[in-house]
Amino acid sequence: MSILRFEELVELARAFQVSRTLLTAIELDIFSAVGRGATAPEVAARLNTDFRATEMLLNALVALGALRKRDGTFRNTAATARYLSEGSPDNQRLALMHAVNLWDAWSELTDCVKSGRPRNLQTRRRSREQTAAFIAAMHSNAASRAPALVRAVGAAKVKRMLDVGGGSGAYSIAFAQANPALEAVVFDRAEVLPIAEQHIRAAGLAGRIRTQQGDLRKDDLGEGYDLLLLSAICHMLSPEENRDLLRRSFRALAPGGRVVIRDFLLSSDKTRPERGALFSLNMLVNTEGGASYSRDEYRQWLHAAGFHPIRYIAMADPGSGIMLGTKPRN
């Protein structure tokens, strides 16, 4: 890892300006308003925003390479037209609204470092729109990663699978598509399950994937599963909560069953990879006790819960990996 020069430190300190410019454009849906081409007054009229301020934002987006401008008319780039404009089949604006929603929490980072915990976390309840944005962001990530995880873990011998905190159901869908004999349960909160059910129906798998309402922090997880998936779950929990979850996971598995943890896996000194270390701060400002954890910590927790053998599987996705524990047959 290279040491930053002063000029690079200054650039890093100001990086929030670039991020906030794009986040505001996403929040206002600027790229849909630009459409196939529009002037600043036309965009301001479509969005009911101030003309002067809108023009300044549009010019900044051109400077950043997110828009193009010619003779006073602004146009989307190929990327913003595809991923951030209404009407595109690949529109990811809803998923990126999750990043917009994180802004306020990250603005409290200084206070979190002083006190050790976020302020007023109990009163921070996601609205229906924020929940939809969060699950959309998770679905976008999961849908792209699921095929690689299925290949790494294997689905051929799995008959019953429990997807704990399964969100949109993207991983359950991928496992069910890989094995026509596999049945899965997506276990999550009540407000999330209707979104999962939409994705399951769209995949034509309503007959083999069902949903179950529950609280992964305390509820019994059932029994007799061949595979129990914890994807992007453990970072939300404290070490003690993870130890408890893995004990309940062990009980839920049939002998020979496997628990699969997919998450950021930090180095022993917790400084690498960069994305994982930064994501730990994201958990600091958004949870009571969550963090990114090291491979060593997961191995200790799995061992204490009774899993053996325990295996690490590297993934191509930067920063993430898999810890796999097997419940002994005897």
**What stretches of 117-182 show up as alpha helix (H) in DSSP?**
128-153, 170-178
Which residues lie closer than 8 Å to 57 by C-beta, 6 or more apart? Answer: 21, 24, 25, 30
**C-alpha distance from residue 305 to each of 74, 242, 246 (Å):** 58, 10, 6
Question: Which among 99, 105, 97 is positioned nearest to 128, based on CA atoms?
Answer: 97
Compute CA 163 distance to the chain's CA centroid, rounded to the nearest angstrom. 15
Q: Which residues are catalytic?
A: 235
Determine phi and psi for 292, rounding to 5 degrees.
Answer: -85, 140
CB-based contact 142:170 (threshold 8 Å): yes
Task: Find tokens 């939300």 and name the residue.
Answer: 236
Question: Which among 283, 263, 252 is positioned nearest to 323, based on CA atoms?
Answer: 263
